[in-house]
């Protein structure tokens, strides 16, 4: 699906910004030491290799795109352009071109989110977290947010749904192991444990989105058909823990449909004889049992 235009940019967010011509006369230079990053900015994944490449380019031709900042305390806080600011520091620049805007915390986050969306710099999880923050902390409805970022309301809803994934799966999307398409396939499975299992299989087998969707349908059908697993009594867990200490190996006390069972792990023949001696307290030799 193609992205809708984000052409309105800052003018859609801050009325005063729409009145500015944004020519070179709007740009000024500030000492880099009085500029600080915004801890609330939506982009959290800074590619160090990419920053190094940008720093090398800045060293040769300078910074072509100004950093957007707002006054804060005795200095200025970055609204958009932290990556460029980091690269300028790495290049050893003492002063950088900036455009100064007066923006509230809410407006600053909105501008940062849109700037990154325009540049395709946010991954799906960062985008969803940015939307959630705007909705939760700045009393904004999904319809208002959709209008701000020039996206459909359904696009906002679908992005936010990614945050319903288990934390481990969100990290897979954040790290790029899963795409947003893969993540939506995982979301079609109702149970969290099954979602984890499906996500791990997608990554381990390198499945395409289409293959993931087909597998998700099978997983979902299995989730519906499967009867709820009965809860294991607490006493089973207590006994299993005591047996593990006694035998010095892993022991499971399992609840079955008709019969229950105890599983005791052993490494080899000698280990089996050791466990047998503990069970019988040495009163019965293994040779006697073999006879």
Euclidean distance between CA atoms 276 and 34, whole angstroms: 73
Beta pairing, strands 95-100 & 75-80: unpaired
List the one residue out of 52, 51, 38, 45 whose CA is nearest residue 80: 38
| Predicted pLDDT at 212 | 92
Question: Quick one: pLDDT at residue 173?
Answer: 87
Q: What is the pLDDT of residue 171?
A: 86
Domain count, the chain: 3
Q: Answer whether 162's CB lies under 8 Å from 131's CB.
A: no
pTM attached to this predicted model: 0.48
Q: Which of the residues are catalytic?
A: 82
Q: Please identify, among 206, 225, 244, the residue that sits at the C-terminal boundary of a domain.
A: 225
| Count, residues in the chain | 291
pLDDT at 290: 52
Phi-psi region for residue 281, left (φ > 0), alpha (ψ -120 to 50) or beta? left
CATH number for the domain that contains residue 86: 3.90.1530.30
29 falls within a domain? yes
| C-alpha separations of 185 from 45, 129, 135, 175, 217 in Å | 24, 20, 25, 17, 9
User: Tell me, what's the pLDDT at 10?
Assistant: 36
Both 112 and 13 in a single domain? yes
Written as six digits, the tokens of 166 are: 């288990």
The number of C-alpha atoms within 13 Å of 183 and in the hemisphere containing its C-beta is 27
pLDDT tens digit string along 23-72? Answer: 344 788 899 999 988 877 666 666 677 788 888 888 887 887 888 898 88
Say yes or no: 218 and 252 in one domain.
no
Write the burial class of residue 188 (CB in 10 Å: 0-12 exposed, 13-18 middle, 19+ buried).
middle
SS3 category, 165: coil
- Asked whether residue 260 is domain-assigned, the answer is yes
Q: Which residues of the chain have pLDDT under 50?
A: 1-25, 224-225, 286, 289
21 and 40 in a single domain? The answer is yes
Full residue range of the structural domain in which residue 24 is found: 9-120
Residue 109 lies in a domain: yes
Residues 6+ apart with CB under 8 A from 139: none
């Amino acid at each position: 699906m193609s992205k809708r235009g984000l052409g309105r940019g800052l003018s859609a967010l801050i009325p005063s910004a729409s009145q500015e011509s944004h020519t070179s006369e709007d740009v000024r230079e500030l000492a880099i030491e009085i500029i600080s990053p915004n801890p609330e900015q939506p982009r959290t994944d800074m590619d160090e290799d990419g920053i190094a490449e940008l720093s090398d380019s800045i060293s040769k031709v300078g910074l072509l795109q100004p950093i957007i900042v707002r006054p804060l305390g005795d200095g200025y806080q970055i609204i958009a352009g932290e990556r460029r600011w980091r690269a300028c520091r790495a290049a050893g620049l003492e002063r950088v071109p900036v455009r100064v805007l007066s923006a509230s915390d809410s407006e600053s986050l909105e501008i940062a989110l849109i700037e990154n969306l325009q540049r395709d710099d946010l991954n799906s999880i960062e985008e969803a977290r940015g939307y959630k923050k705007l909705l939760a902390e700045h009393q904004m409805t999904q319809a208002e947010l959709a209008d701000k970022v020039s996206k459909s309301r359904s696009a906002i809803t679908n992005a936010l749904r990614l945050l319903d994934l288990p934390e481990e799966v969100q990290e897979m999307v954040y790290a790029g192991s899963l795409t947003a398409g893969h993540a939506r396939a995982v979301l079609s499975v109702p149970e969290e444990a099954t979602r984890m299992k499906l996500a791990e299989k997608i990554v381990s087998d390198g499945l395409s989105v289409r293959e993931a969707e087909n597998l998700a349908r099978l997983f979902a059908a299995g989730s519906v058909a499967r009867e709820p697993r009965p809860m294991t009594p607490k006493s089973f867990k207590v006994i299993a823990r005591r047996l593990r200490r006694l035998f010095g190996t892993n022991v499971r006390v399992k609840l079955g449909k008709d019969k229950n069972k105890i599983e005791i792990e052993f490494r080899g023949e000698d280990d089996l004889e050791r466990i047998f001696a503990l069970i019988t307290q040495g009163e019965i030799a293994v040779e006697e049992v073999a006879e």
